[in-house]
Each structure stands twice: as structure tokens, then as C-alpha cells.
């Protein structure tokens, strides 16, 4: 089951990427149901395949949802990210900046922040 979670670091990322399974599967199921009444030889297989895809998506998401997650706050924007416990780095859901998780479980900036005042920076002219 660990191999299924490779592409997801946060719970919100999982929700965004798996939502398409349900959008397209639900649309295909609806189209299949309509086509059952209009042209049954196409509608029945389409509805059956869409139902199988939706059921597979539900099983897939439920398997991924069993891994523990913990709340970690982004050091850049202070937004809350529900990060899977096995992850050591992730991209913040709000600001998309890379964040590393230290050995003690604290969030660490993966990129330095430019704190130079804008009026002190050289102009591009």
C-alpha cells in the first residue's frame, strides 16, 4: 500500500488529484444512464464501466486515507497542512513553497527568504 502514496504528500493534495476520478466517473455514469433509455447497447456498458471506475476510485481513496497525518504549519505563510506522517518534505498547499520536516517534527524552510528591503536593492535600470 505504501507504493500508492508516493505522489501525495498532503491530504489536500490527495483530495485535489482524486477529485477528477469522481468528476469524470460521475459524468460518464450520468451519460450512461441517459443513454440506457436512448440507445441501450451503448448506455449499459458505459454505465457499468463508469460504476466500476467510481467503485475503484472509492476503494483507492479509502486505502490512501488510512495513513496517519499530522498538522504542520508552513514556515513561510503559516497555513495549516495535513501532512502524511511518512513524509519528510512537501510543498505547502497555499504558497506552494517547499518545506522540509526536521527530525523533531518541526517544519523547516527549504528556501531562504529574501529579507532585503526593497528600497535597498539595486535598480534594474
Across the strands, what pairs with 28?
none
> How sure is the predictor about 121, in pLDDT bands with cuts at 50, 70 and 90?
low
Higher-pLDDT residue of 109, 65: 109
Question: For residue range 49-69, what is the model confidence (pLDDT) as tens digits?
Answer: 999 989 988 888 888 778 788
Sorted by sequence, the CB contacts under 8 Å of residue 71 that are 6+ apart come out as 80, 81, 82, 83
Cell of 11: 491530504
Q: Are residues 48 and 74 in the same domain?
A: no
So what's the pLDDT on residue 63?
81
> How sure is the predictor about 1, in pLDDT bands with cuts at 50, 70 and 90?
very low
CB 76 within 8 A of CB 113: yes
For the cut 80, the answer to whether the pLDDT of residue 125 exceeds it is no
Q: Are residues 33 and 57 in the same domain?
A: yes
Q: Count CB atoms within 10 A of the CB of residue 118.
A: 6
Q: Are residues 82 and 30 in the same domain?
A: no
Q: How far apart are CA 98 and CA 81, in angstroms?
A: 12
So what's the pLDDT on residue 32?
92
So what's the pLDDT on residue 27?
92
Is 123 domain-assigned? no
Q: How far apart are CA 3 and CA 13, in angstroms?
A: 16
Q: Are residues 20 and 59 in the same domain?
A: yes
- Give the structural domain span for 55: 2-64
Number of domains in the chain: 2
Q: Are residues 54 and 19 in the same domain?
A: yes
Q: Are residues 17 and 42 in the same domain?
A: yes
Q: Are residues 19 and 36 in the same domain?
A: yes
Is 124 domain-assigned? no
> How sure is the predictor about 38, in pLDDT bands with cuts at 50, 70 and 90?
very high
So what's the pLDDT on residue 80?
92
Q: Are residues 54 and 12 in the same domain?
A: yes
Amino acid at each position: 500500500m505504501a507504493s500508492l502514496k508516493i505522489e501525495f504528500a498532503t491530504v489536500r493534495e490527495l483530495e485535489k488529484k482524486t477529485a477528477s476520478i469522481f468528476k469524470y466517473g460521475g459524468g460518464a455514469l450520468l451519460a450512461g444512464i441517459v443513454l440506457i433509455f436512448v440507445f441501450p447497447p451503448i448506455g449499459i456498458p458505459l454505465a457499468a464501466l463508469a460504476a466500476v471506475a467510481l467503485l475503484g476510485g472509492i476503494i483507492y481513496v479509502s486505502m490512501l486515507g488510512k495513513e496517519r497525518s499530522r498538522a504542520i504549519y508552513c514556515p513561510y505563510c503559516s497555513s495549516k497542512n495535513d501532512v502524511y506522517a511518512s513524509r519528510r518534505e512537501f510543498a505547502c498547499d497555499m504558497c506552494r513553497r517547499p518545506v522540509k520536516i526536521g527530525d523533531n517534527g518541526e517544519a523547516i524552510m527549504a528556501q531562504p527568504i529574501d529579507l532585503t528591503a526593497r528600497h535597498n536593492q539595486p535598480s534594474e535600470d
